[in-house]
């Protein structure tokens, strides 16, 4: 089975994860998918195949060299984002893309345009896999799954390529931030790994945001509006005051690169009570601490103005920047760069403006930078993946295995 057929088969399984499900995996389609992958791994002749009750699937491709070689791993997540439905995905292939706009759905006037997605012009002449305009595609991260499976099949078919022991891992619920929570690093048992979960061809990432969440609860006093003078405290108005106390340009739509932000992701309220939910991000741990301190000062100021306990703050850390784990062993980055160049890809080392399972895994003892999977416009109905990018990612995996064995 070639990489395209694998991918087309995988995306048709609905594995959209679900917030607040309270179970792992959060949706039954994810378990259906990993069971299918388990069968494929068995057919490929892999060993030590384990699938636990939470949907974590591990397997081993045994070494075919007598040299002492580090054990490396390749990891991808099986869920897709709940931002856009992953049900009834109907992909199609645009052969030899010619640089024009792509009509995804004529009925709904859904068009993948070069104005909105100028990246399209980087792939003229390549075959593109797109959606029908009604769902996401699922390249995040089923492209990564297909690339790992295809690389393993390639190594099995080419025993002349010497490699050490390779561990394969597929996990659920990355899109809701829970992919690494129940990942058994000791059972996976390798020296380092790579997540195949990056974006465009060439991307290589070993630093990500420090991440926290904040929940601000504002308690008001409701009084009949005709008699409210000097009595009513409208919690929604206090909420807008709180929002206005934060830096106006430190939001996702105004930041890039290493710049962090406060991102208001939800508001729910009335006169009596309003709740604000934020995510806070920054690559610098020091600046991240200052962001938390600013939130605390805002709460203190409002409580001094409106009364004790009018505003309460709940802060929770989510994940940290994996750079501090990767930097002492930069050879894992050098190997990935060398592998990319040997398959004709120029590495693009960049910070992740988000998170990755690799960050949490790195702090659990498994150093785990992130390599491109090739997709573009993740989490949207305009998502697409160039076939050439998937093939380059697959061969990057093969080359990494070969280089590690030679070193």
Please list the residues that pair with 253 across neighbouring strands: none
CA distance 36 to 40: 6
| CA 240 distance to own-chain centroid | 31
Q: Of 14, 79, 140, 250, which is the active-site residue?
A: 79
At residue 236's C-alpha, the angle toward residues 232 and 238, to 5°, is 75
Radius of gyration of the chain (CA): 24
116 is catalytic: no
Q: Does the annotation mark 174 as catalytic?
A: yes
For the packed helices 387-406 and 3-11, what is the interaxial angle rounded to 10 degrees? Answer: 120
In sequence order, the β-bridge partners of residue 213 are: 279, 316
Query: In angstroms, how far is CA 399 from the centroid of its own chain?
Result: 24
Catalytic residue among 16, 126, 141, 174: 174
Which three-class secondary structure state does DSSP give residue 5?
helix
Strands (DSSP E) found in 163-205: 166-171, 192-198, 203-205
What b-and-e string marks burial along 321-330, b requiring 16 or more CB atoms within 10 Å of the CB? Answer: bbbebbeeee
Any idea which residues carry the catalytic annotation?
79, 174
């Amino acid at each position: 089975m070639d990489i395209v057929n694998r991918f087309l088969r995988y995306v048709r399984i609905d594995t959209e994860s679900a917030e607040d499900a309270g179970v792992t995996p959060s949706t039954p389609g994810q378990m259906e998918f990993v069971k299918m992958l388990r069968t494929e791994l068995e057919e490929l002749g892999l060993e030590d195949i384990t699938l636990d009750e939470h949907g974590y699937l591990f397997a081993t491709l045994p070494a075919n060299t007598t040299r002492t070689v580090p054990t490396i791993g390749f990891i991808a997540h099986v869920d897709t984002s709940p931002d856009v439905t992953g049900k009834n995905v109907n992909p199609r292939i645009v052969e030899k893309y010619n640089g024009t706009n792509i009509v995804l759905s004529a009925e709904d006037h859904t068009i993948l345009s070069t104005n909105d997605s100028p990246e399209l012009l980087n792939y003229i002449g390549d075959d593109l896999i797109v959606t029908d305009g009604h769902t996401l595609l699922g390249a995040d991260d089923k492209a990564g799954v297909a690339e790992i499976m295809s690389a393993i099949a390639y190594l099995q078919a080419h025993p002349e390529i010497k490699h050490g022991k390779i561990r394969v891992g597929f996990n659920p619920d990355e899109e809701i931030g829970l992919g690494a929570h129940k990942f058994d690093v000791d059972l996976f048992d390798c020296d380092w790994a790579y997540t195949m979960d990056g974006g465009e061809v060439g991307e290589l990432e070993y630093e990500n945001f420090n991440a926290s969440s904040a929940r601000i609860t504002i308690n008001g006093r409701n009084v009949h509006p005709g008699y409210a003078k000097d009595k009513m405290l409208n919690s929604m108005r206090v909420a807008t005051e709180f929002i206005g106390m934060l830096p106006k340009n430190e939001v996702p739509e105004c930041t890039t690169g290493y710049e962090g932000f406060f991102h208001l992701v939800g508001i729910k309220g009335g006169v009596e009570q309003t709740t604000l939910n934020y995510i806070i991000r920054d690559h610098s741990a020091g600046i991240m601490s200052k962001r938390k301190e600013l939130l605390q000062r805002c709460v203190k100021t409002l409580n001094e103005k409106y009364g004790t306990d009018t505003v309460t703050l709940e802060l929770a850390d989510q994940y940290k920047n994996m750079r501090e784990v990767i930097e002492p062993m930069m050879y894992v980055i050098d190997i990935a760069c060398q592998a990319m160049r040997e398959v004709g890809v120029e590495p693009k080392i960049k910070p992740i403006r988000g998170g990755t399972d690799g960050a949490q895994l790195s702090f659990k003892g498994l150093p785990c930078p992130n390599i491109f999977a090739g997709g573009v416009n993740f989490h949207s109905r305009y998502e697409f993946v160039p076939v050439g990018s998937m093939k380059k990612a697959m061969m990057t995996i093969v080359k990494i295995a070969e280089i590690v064995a030679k070193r």
